[in-house]
Copies of this chain bind each other. A is one copy, B any other.
């Protein structure tokens, strides 16, 4: 799908502050509050906007330990099953199915090594998980668009 100029400016405004009022955004882009809302509703319905989220500083939240867990699933595990299984963990920041040997790559934030280990063990114990392989982040070099989508 293609965004027009007005939509792009609205998305840009929301990207900077997703809690700005529609009236406020409307003033910036030259529309009334209802007009902005209608466009945002349409963008959500079309799937261009998938949601609104909070930008957090992991360290400030006490999540000092970051790592990636590669998951090797049992045969015939659906992506939906993986999603269901992983979405219960608040420590999971992102997850994707990937090409290559592993089936999924999961990004995890934990308060410390003990916490990370505990999460790893619980995920490894999920019924759809055959085995895991994990790497710890030593130091984040770049976090341009974060773990989310780029703008």
Chain A interface residues toward B at CB < 8 A: 1-3, 8, 11-12, 14-19, 46-63, 66, 68, 79, 82-83, 86-87, 90, 92-100, 102, 104-105, 107, 109, 135-151
Task: Give chain B nearest CB distance to A2 CB in angstroms.
Answer: 6
Give CA–CA (A150, B142) in the complex, Å. Answer: 6
Contact between chains at B139 and A53 (CB < 8 Å): no
Contact between chains at A54 and B102 (CB < 8 Å): no
Give CA–CA (A94, B141) in the complex, Å. Answer: 7
Give CA–CA (A19, B151) in the complex, Å. Answer: 19
Q: List 14 A-B contacts (CB under 8 A).
A: A8-B90, A49-B55, A52-B52, A68-B105, A79-B141, A94-B143, A95-B140, A96-B137, A96-B139, A98-B135, A143-B149, A145-B146, A145-B147, A147-B148
